[in-house]
Amino acid sequence: MTGERGPRALQRAETRRTLLRESRKLFAAQGYAAVGLAEIVRAAGVTKGALYHHFDSKTDLFRAVLAEVQEEVAVRVAAAGDAQAEPWDQLAAGCRAFLEAGADPDFQRILLVDGPAVLGWAEWRALDEQGSARHLVDALTTLVEAGLLAPQPVQPLARLLSGAMNEAALWLATTAEPGALEDTWAALARMLESLRAE
């Protein structure tokens, strides 16, 4: 029995990975509303039954894709911060990494445009909280404790900065202005500097 379960379990895992990969490509390229289940199963080379074995609905599949994208962005942000030695530089590097991730079409369409629209603001925000937002809160807490930021409640500040960065990433996704990323980063860096303790 164990021999049969092993290969089947591997096949199920591979089917799930394939569904996530192919639906992610489609959602990123066309947007959630334009992609049908028939197109997803055709691209993945599976049946609708196989899709429904893993996901209850197209929304459930999108939720899994969104979680995957959010985790990737969170890893990028954390890695950029962790590469710096000083707490202030960690915050700045993480914020810049978030803006740079905004240049990725998967990020723009799936995370910022369709995510809140498909799942609703509350669920989208909760998923964001588990990813990049958590790293921002941690970084700000460290800066307050080190005296680099004036003592203040971190949660509202984190939400203000997160909102500003999400809005900036959305703008970057829609603008064709040359140097938009560098201009946006310069503005964000000035905003961050204004928060430093005297």
Please tell me the CATH code under which domain 66-194 is placed.
Answer: 1.10.357.10
Please tell me the CATH code under which domain 1-55 is placed.
Answer: 1.10.10.60
Residues 69-127: tens digit of each pLDDT: 988 888 898 899 999 999 999 999 999 999 998 777 778 899 888 999 999 989 988 88
Query: What pTM was estimated for this model as a whole?
Result: 0.85
The reported pLDDT for the residue numbered 55 is 96
Query: Could you give the CA distance from residue 2 to residue 175 in angstroms, rounded to a whole number?
Result: 55
CB 81 within 8 A of CB 135: yes
- Answer yes or no: is pLDDT of 3 > 60: no
- Residue type at 166 in one-letter notation: N
Look-up: residue for tokens 């703008």?
171
Per domain, the residue ranges of the chain are 1-55, 66-194
Q: Taking residues 155-161, report their average pLDDT.
A: 93
24 band by pLDDT with thresholds 50, 70 and 90:
very high
